[in-house]
Amino acid sequence: MAQARQGRFVPFRNERIQNRQESEPRSQTRPLPPDEKKTAAHTPAEENGRRPPDASARQAESRTGRSRRSGRFSDQDNIPDEGPARRSVDQQVRRRRAQMTEYGEDDFDPEEHAARKAERKKRKQREREFAAPTPIYLPEFISVSNLANKMKIRAEELVRKMEEVGFEDIQNDDVLTSENAGMVAMELNFEPIPESTEDLDIVAAPVPEDTSDWPQRPPVVTIMGHVDHGKTTILDYLRKSSVAATEFGGITQHIGAFSVPLSSGKMITFLDTPGHAAFLNMRQRGANVTDIVVLVVAADDSVMPQTIEAIKHAQGAGVPIIVAINKIDKEDANPERVKQDLSRNGVIVEDYGGDTQVVEVSGKTGRGMSNLEETVTTLSEILDHRATTEGPVEGWVLEVQTKKSGRAATVLVRRGTLRKGDFLVAGTSFARVRTIKNEAGVEVESVSPGIPAEIDGWRGIPEAGDEVLEAPTEQKAADVTEHRETKRDNLKLLRDTEAIAEYRHMVEARREKEEAAAAAAKAAEEAGEDPQAASAAVMAQGQDASTQSGPKIVPFIIKADVSGSAEAVENYIQGTGNSEVGLRILRTGVGVVSEFDIEHAAVAGGHVIAFNTTIAPDIRRMAEDRGVKLLDRNIIYRVVDDVKAILNELLPPLVTQRVTGEAVVLQVFNIALGRKKTLSIAGCRVTNGTVGRNSKARVFRGGEKLYDGVVSSLKQVKKDVMEMQKGSECGMGFEEWNDFEAGDTIQCYEERHEKRFL
């Protein structure tokens, strides 16, 4: 074994192999005759200086069970075979002989060989660059390591190439979009081809041009308007219930969907969208699923900002508008003003030559309500809304709640007939319909188009606004949701990767700033200066740089009772802030506040918004210990006030300056302080107001400001004084500035720091 190890690392010290090389003819350096090529091709043992075993020898080995390569016996000089080490030596011998064949027996040059090898490598690289691009199929999201595997290159090489094209801080588990992955692939001579996902998902069926053979369906009417203009009160009158009394602060927090049989015998489905600006997205979604918008405007308040937003949503969706001027029974009601304000905002009523119908009503007394019903019914007959009751079910999720019986979703059926046992997909959730209940809570067997219903049996929590589609089987529904979950998780992972990269940059910047501060403190201490002041100066410079790079951002986590409310809170507070402060939503969710929410907010330096949900006492204590504020509210505009209060704390104060006095320099006196140090004192006359010691002051010469600092010395003759009035003469001195001249103007002022608000 010692010989085997020696032969592996120093092959030509094996005397037996060296003697064999010297004794055998160098047949490898000359071409073989044609009749010898076949023989040579089948005698590798002879090529290495060994005779192949004959048949008798092989039979003997077969009988004894011992191989010539076993190393136990050898029929040539009784020398043991070295096994793997011997084979390694043989490979090196053959490689050396091949090099001699290429360069000649005595002309082998290692440097020339290395140069030729490098040239071959460059030639192959050029061939790859000019070769036709290789097709590569890319999913919507892919990690860096998986992309490298698809390209059949090392991940390190891919990361290096990505850094060359501008990517920063790349990790192997980072997620790329198909666009970014395609850009990198093209740099490496690949042709990116997006993978098709049509078979993995289901989509709504297209609407045919001719729907005249479809049956009519009830119209879907959405009530819109400003806060407290009486939308819910009108619906309350229509369905003879007391919905308005159950809402927090008298403001509708969720979309209420119900069907109302009118006195005319017609059925109308009403959607009560929340009226204030907080529920922008829910109201916009309501306009997209509705057929008619009833715009409620208070006769005493006229058009307000949320009224204008509702008009824009309805017009953008191409939905006709009926104006209901509510609170007409009030003394200060002014319906003419309402009509004029509507005209200014693009809604021309019939009295002003337009085609928008106006009905004056009072949801409180019932005045004009029959006229409103008739107007809605007439317009719906003109529009002639139809939908097929056959085929797969389609609809919209309007509201989601978690009840004792399980998860329940309010669904507005758009197409088909919803029955028990159907398989539905909504977002990343699917359900096998267990029960169907109408707006009164009565269980029904089926629901036709245009009718809302509450269904349970969900596996997962759908989001308000998700499109509901029927799947043929439960397996298909599960596959679709799995595909959507994967897509959602990849997108979330992409966002998390970006957030982690941002956090890394923040930590790295903080570390560099602390190291610079420590170095400055050490240098100041060695120079005999104040190390704390030097460190503070460096830290302040870092803060200035971070402030200049962008606004101060406060992260928030939103938890709510239902998905629609969480979405509305996010949309309403999203734009809060200015160029100096702002916020970022880390994530939103449905349910109670958890330990993970507090931990996540603490790590990010943010806070948690708990809207209309519960907070356990231990969670409150944990939040207090971690410095996380819990904004626990049931009314959304209170949440907005809390968010603004947090952002207001980060706003720099408004600094105002007020001039308190002015003086003119008449003469300059130089006072010796010893050791060649002098102090210049300006002999002044106070021309306006009052000048005081320790007050802020500026020195002007010819309208140009020369100095801005603090009055360190104020004397009258030789007596120190605190202040001097107009008309008096005094001597004034400043720290670190002595360049006075007669005729300079000294202006004393005070600064006021006022708290700013968004």
Residues 680-704 pLDDT 10s: 889 999 999 999 999 999 999 988 9
Identify which of 323, 327, 325, 324 has the alpha carbon closest to the alpha carbon of residue 364. 327
- pLDDT over 90 at 756, yes or no: no
> Contact 397/468 with Cβ under 8 angstroms?
yes
Taking each helix axis as running N to C, give the angle between helix 84-103 and helix 15-23, from 0 to 180 degrees, rounded to the nearest 10.
Answer: 40
726-731: average pLDDT: 92
Instruction: Work out the average pLDDT over 421-426.
Output: 95
* Confidence band, pLDDT 50/70/90 cuts, at residue 275: very low
Q: Is the pLDDT of residue 162 over 60?
A: yes
The per-residue pLDDT of the chain, averaged, comes to: 78
Establish how many alpha carbons lie within 13 A of residue 603's alpha carbon, considering only the half-sphere containing its beta carbon. Answer: 10
700 CB burial (10 A radius; 0-12, 13-18, 19+): middle
List residues bridging with 349 in a β-sheet: 356
Q: What is the pLDDT of residue 326?
A: 93
Amino acid 477: pLDDT: 93
| Residue 428, pLDDT above cutoff 70 | yes
CATH architecture of 486-648: 3-Layer(aba) Sandwich (3.40)
CA–CA dist 641, 615 (Å, integer): 20
Residue 9 predicted with pLDDT over 70: no
What's the pLDDT score for residue 322? 94
Averaged over 492-504, what is the pLDDT?
67
Measured CA to CA, the distance from residue 550 to residue 582 in angstroms comes to: 10
For residue 586 the two structure tokens come to 């880390």
| Residue-level pLDDT at 230 | 83
Provide, rounded to the nearest whole percent, the portion of the chain with pLDDT above 70: 74
Quick check: helix, strand or coil at residue 294? strand
Q: Tell me, what's the pLDDT at 737?
A: 83
Q: What are the counts of helices (DSSP H) followed by strands (DSSP E) for the chain?
A: 21, 33
Residue range 36-53: mean pLDDT, rounded: 43
Q: Tell me the C-alpha distance between 571 and 576, whole Å.
A: 10
Identify the band that residue 72 occupies on the pLDDT scale cut at 50, 70 and 90: very low
Output the CA–CA distances (angstroms, integers) from residue 457 to 409, 429, 469, 580, 673, in the order listed. Answer: 9, 10, 15, 48, 91
The crossing angle, in degrees rounded to 10, of helices 305-316 and 280-289 is 40
For residue 562, the model assigns a pLDDT of 78
DSSP state of 652: P
Contact (CB, 8 A) for 364 and 326 = no
Task: Label residue 464 exposed, middle or buried (CB < 10 Å: 0-12, 13-18, 19+).
Answer: buried
**Rg, the chain, Cα only:** 43
Q: How far apart are the first and last CA of the chain?
A: 84
Q: Which of 115-124, 279-288, 382-391, 558-567 has the highest mean pLDDT?
A: 382-391
Is CATH 2.40.30.10 what the domain over 654-754 is classified as, yes or no? yes
Q: Other C-beta atoms within 10 Å of 202: how many?
A: 19
Residue 626 has pLDDT above 80, yes or no: yes
Inter-axis angle of helices 369-383 and 231-239, nearest 10? 90
Residue indicated by tokens 């002044």? 684
Name the more confident of 617 and 527. 617
pLDDT at 676: 67
Q: Is the pLDDT of residue 251 over 50?
A: no
What is the secondary structure of 6-39 as a DSSP string? HHHHSGGG-HHHHHHHHHS--GGGSPPPHHHHHH
Rounded Cα distance, 425 and 469, in Å: 5
What pLDDT is attached to residue 537?
65
Over residues 202-220, the mean pLDDT reads 87
Helix ranges restricted to H, 165-213: 178-187
pLDDT band at 534 (very low <50, low <70, confident <90, very high): low
Domain boundaries, the chain: 2-103, 134-195, 220-383, 394-472, 486-648, 654-754
Query: What is the Cα–Cα distance from 647 to 553, expressed in whole angstroms?
Result: 9
pLDDT value at 364 more than 70: yes
Q: In whole angstroms, give the CA distance from residue 48 to residue 51.
A: 9
The pLDDT of residue 249? 55
Number of Cβ within 10 Å of residue 95's Cβ equals: 10
Q: What DSSP letter does each residue of 504-569 carry, written as one string?
A: HHHHHHHHHHHHHHHHHHHHHHHTTS-HHHHHHHHHHHHHHHHHHHS-EEEEEEEEESSHHHHHHH
Fold match between domain 220-383 and domain 486-648: yes
| The predicted structure's pLDDT at residue 277 | 40
Binning pLDDT at 50, 70 and 90, where does residue 19 land?
very low
The per-residue pLDDT for 41 is 43
What share of the chain has pLDDT > 90, as a percent?
Answer: 25
Where is 371: in which H helix or E strand? helix 369-383
Q: Which helix (H) or strand (E) holds 45?
A: helix 44-47
- Structure token pair of residue 494: 């992409």
Q: Which of 1, 2, 113, 96 is nearest to 48 (CA)?
A: 96
CA distance 720 to 731: 9
pLDDT bucket at 672, cuts 50 / 70 / 90:
confident
Q: What's the pLDDT at 95?
A: 66
Q: CB neighbours of 265 closer than 8 A, spacing ≥ 6?
A: none
Hey, how many other C-beta atoms are within 10 angstroms of the C-beta on 695?
A: 17
pLDDT higher than 90, residue 643? yes
Query: What is the distance between the alpha carbons of residues 76 and 415, in angstroms, rounded to a whole number?
Result: 91
Nearest to 139 by CA among 190, 185, 184, 177: 177
Amino acid present at 446: S
| C-alpha–C-alpha distance, residues 585 and 477, integer Å | 31
Contact 651, 580 (CB under 8 A): yes
Kind plus residue range of the DSSP H or E element containing 177: strand 175-177
- CB contact at 8 A, 520 and 535: yes
pLDDT range class, residue 253, cuts 50, 70, 90: very low
More confident residue, 322 or 317: 322
pLDDT in the model for residue 258: 80
Q: How far apart are CA 231 and CA 123, in angstroms?
A: 77
Q: What is the mean pLDDT of residues 557-574?
A: 83
Place of tokens 């390569």: 69
Tell me the average pLDDT across 192-201. Answer: 79
Determine the 3-state secondary structure of 740 from DSSP: coil
Which strands sit side by side in the sheet containing 630-633, from one edge to the other?
581-590, 552-560, 607-611, 630-633
pLDDT above 70: residue 13? no
Pairing of β 607-611 and β 723-725: unpaired
What angle is formed at CA 515 by the lines to CA 512 and CA 517, rounded to 5 degrees? Answer: 110
Location of structure tokens 């690392």: 9
Does 475 score more than 90 pLDDT? Answer: yes
CATH of domain 220-383: 3.40.50.300
* DSSP string across 404-429: TTEEEEEEEEEES-EETT-EEEETTE
pLDDT at 280 exceeding the cut of 70: no
CATH for 394-472 is: 2.40.30.10
Beta pairing class for 292-298 and 220-225: parallel
Q: Average pLDDT for residues 57-66, to the nearest whole number?
A: 44
pLDDT higher than 70, residue 494: yes
Q: Three-state SS for 657?
A: strand
> Of 237-246, 251-260, 626-635, which one has max mean pLDDT?
626-635
The amino acid present at 180, given as its one-letter code, is N
Q: How far is CA 508 from CA 168, 504, 543, in A?
A: 14, 6, 14
Best CA proximity match to 358, nearest among 381, 378, 335, 391: 335
pLDDT band at 359 (very low <50, low <70, confident <90, very high): very high
For helices 144-151 and 155-164, angle between their N-to-C axes, nearest 10 degrees: 110
SS3 of 691, please?
Answer: strand
Query: What is the distance between the alpha carbons of residues 303 and 344, in angstroms, rounded to a whole number?
Result: 10
Model pTM? 0.54
Q: Higher confidence at residue 644 or residue 281? A: 644
